[in-house]
A and B are shown apart, each in its own frame.
Chain A
Amino acid sequence: MKTTFAGAINHGLRRALEDDPKVVLMGEDIGRLGGVFRVTDTLQKDFGNHRVIDTPLAESGIVGTAFGMALRGLRPVCEIQFDGFVYPAFDQIVSQVAKIHFRTRGKVIAPITIRIPFGGGIGSVEHHSESPEAYFAHTAGLRVVSPSNPGDAYLMIRQDIALDDPVIFFEPKRRYWDKSEVDFERLDRDGGLALDQARVCASGADATIVAYGGTVATALTAADIAASEGHSLEVIDLRSLSPIDFDTIEASVRKTGRLVIVHEAPVFAGLGAEIAARITERCFYQLESPVLRVGGFDIPYPPAKLERHHLPDPDRILAAVDRTLAA
């Protein structure tokens, strides 16, 4: 059936609530309102306010109490309302949730999902458009993922909730209303890609583009334009930001010899740096040119009227492609 990205997550959450009585959702405004992006729409009505819990307005409290619930055997799914609001919960996420399995030598699990709408492109005010993924990818014990399309959103939220590790689930908010055909039954039956696998979503021979979340669609647009100009680009959707599936990227770069990494987050010390370093280690003799990064500038997220300059667009991606092809 045809579904939006937000609708696909909603369906995944609904199935998780149906399948496992241990799953609870919690967050600010997720109940009667259905979340500010309506991702949890109708779930409280159907599952009750003890399964879909409207919490006080306090992010550390949301994650910290979810941790306590997990110790009692529940599988909490927390919604953080916006990317820029996650920081008050930072200690609970990185020092408590992420470390408990290691700290207890495997005796305690924290199967907590933390959903965060992230990234820009919706013309919002400050603290509503950030890309904090590098903070979390840097933390051992956490997995970090970001789907780029409705099918993956459904599949990955279900895999994530079923996983015994804590996962930061970044939802690219400018894709919430993107629609596509999703065969939920087939995904339930076949399982699809593993949560930590990247996907080659366009194949090509001249250069590899790695993107994730909201920038995958931008990269695919760039690849279409490049094709019309006679260049064939391979586009990889990372899907998992920690761990990163370097095998898939390596295989592609061995074929194309060129790599451009795209993300919205500031480039300095971002995921692009990690990918560039690792791929350089693995493919030093196959690379035809230096690995390039296209990303947000190293500035606070700008006011909405400037964000189109900050966010990588097809033209900036193609400029990088031109540079790598020229080398």
Chain B
Amino acid sequence: MPEKNTYPVQLLQPDGRRVWDRVHTPLIADVDADRLRAMYSDMVVARRIDTEATALQRQGQLGLWPPLLGQEAAQIGSAHALHADDYVFCSYREAGVAHCRGVPPEDLTRLWRGVAHSCWDADAVKMTNPAIVVGAQGLHATGYAYAAHLEGAEIATIAYFGDGATSQGDIAEALGFAASWSAPVVFFCQNNQWAISAPVRVQSATPIARRALGYGIPGVQVDGNDVLAVLAVTRQALQHARAGAGPSFIEAITYRMGPHTTADDPTRYRTDAELELWRGRDPIDRLRRLLERERLWDSAFEHDVDERAAAVAARLRAATLTMPDPQPTELFDHVYATPHRLIAEESREYAAYLEGAGR
């Protein structure tokens, strides 16, 4: 990881033309037509997951949803760089990454519907469930990475978080621990410009990637709406980690086109002009232009992607609408891994109460 790469790395311009870069172009030399199409497909599916979940929230089927609209390249590009045994630590906005890790659509909304505190089986896909407390997962990724390093396992972890999280002590502590331990962890900051209503300049007086340098960690800025550049820098960082060279930090400069969550109203704090500017940098349009330029686009492919996205959306919707409410007795399940006097007593008493009340 070259430390001087603080300019945003870009391999794909908004009009779909490639940029040649001596360091990063070779990192994606193997990306063929199939891989380009797969990334395009995943980006469209991620957007469709987001649209469907947002709609379900508006219809009262989900309590909350944190949209990823606009961040598809940052999520899909980085996720395509991961190996199956790398471990992902995420915030609540990484539904696109989850899709790439193999999380089925029916597992994406459980938390947001309020039937459980988690969505998918973390170990099955090597990706934790959403961390709601901002930044806590940076430390978890660091500890996991270090434990794997002690085992001699050649894996890396990646911690996803936003620009707001960089103000949290836990992210700062994670950078310190990771550097001290030379832990194989990649810090992946999706700088989407806004932490709810606070612009990134409220969080940091310096480019965020530069903060890593103070910890002795290489930091790079990448155009987060350029899926090829994100793939390249994430591959580079993961290789660096797996090779035992320690942590690195990626700042993907992107934009959250929707609200922070469905409870938020971005019209209160940002302008239409800003939104328009970023619409012109839409990550999906950009890859489509590349595919068109390189004659990898045809109506059969377009149709195929649409069908795939529609199928995922239909599965997501059907699964969400038919999720059974948990049983009241489940309140007491799994609070502890081992038998516990107080829980056993309360569980017994409440079951008797419900029975007595005929419920």
Residues of A within 8 A of B (CB): 50, 55-56, 58, 60-61, 63-74, 88, 91-92, 95-96, 99, 101-109, 111, 140-141, 143, 163-165, 196, 242-246
B122 engages A107 (CB within 8 Å)? yes
Q: A138 CB to closest chain B CB, in angstroms?
A: 12
Stretch at the interface among B143-151, B220-228, B253-261: B143-151
Cross-chain contact B143 with A196 (CB below 8 angstroms): no
Q: How far is the CA of A58 from the CA of B151 in the complex (A)?
A: 24
Tell me the smallest distance from the CB of A50 to a CB of chain B, in Å. Answer: 5
The answer on a CB contact under 8 Å between A50 and B335 is no
A67 to B22: give the CA distance in the assembly, Å.
40
Of B118, B150, B341, the contact of A243 (CB 8 Å cutoff): B341
- Tell me how far the C-beta of B168 lies from the nearest C-beta in chain A, rounded to whole angstroms: 9
Residues of A within 8 A of B147 (CB): 68-69, 72-74
| Chain-A contact segment, one of B132-140, B189-197, B202-210, B308-316 | B132-140
Q: How far is the CB of A21 from chain B (nearest CB, A)?
A: 10
- Taking the nearest CB of chain B, how far is it from the CB of A54, in angstroms? 9
* Residues of chain B from 107 to 154 with CB closer than 8 A to chain A in the complex: 116-118, 121-123, 128-129, 133, 136, 138-148, 150-151
Tell me the interface secondary structure of chain B in the complex: helix
CB neighbours (8 Å) of A106 from chain B are 333-334, 337
Given A101-B334, A196-B341, also A56-B180 (CB < 8 A): yes
- Of B11-19, B95-103, B170-178, B293-301, the segment with at least 4 beta carbons within 8 Å of chain A is B170-178
Size category, B interface: 35 or more
Chain B residues with Cβ below 8 Å from A105 are 116, 118, 333-334
A68-B141, A72-B143, A107-B122 known, 9 other contacts, Cβ within 8 Å:
A60-B173, A64-B139, A64-B142, A65-B139, A68-B143, A102-B335, A106-B333, A165-B337, A243-B340
List 25 A-B pairs, Cβ < 8 Å.
Answer: A56-B173, A58-B173, A58-B176, A61-B139, A61-B177, A64-B139, A64-B174, A65-B143, A67-B143, A72-B147, A72-B148, A73-B147, A102-B335, A103-B129, A104-B117, A104-B129, A106-B333, A107-B121, A164-B337, A164-B338, A165-B336, A242-B342, A244-B341, A244-B342, A246-B341
Across the interface, do A65 and B146 meet the contact criterion of CB distance under 8 Å?
yes
What are the 6 tightest A-B residue pairs by CB atom distance, in nearest-first order? A68-B143, A64-B139, A65-B143, A61-B173, A72-B147, A68-B144
B122 and A108 contacting across the interface, CB-CB below 8 Å: yes
Chain B residues, Cβ within 8 Å of A143: 336, 340
Please tell me if the beta carbons of A58 and B177 are within 8 angstroms of each other in the complex: yes
Whether, in the assembled complex, B169 has its beta carbon less than 8 Å from a beta carbon of chain A, the answer is yes
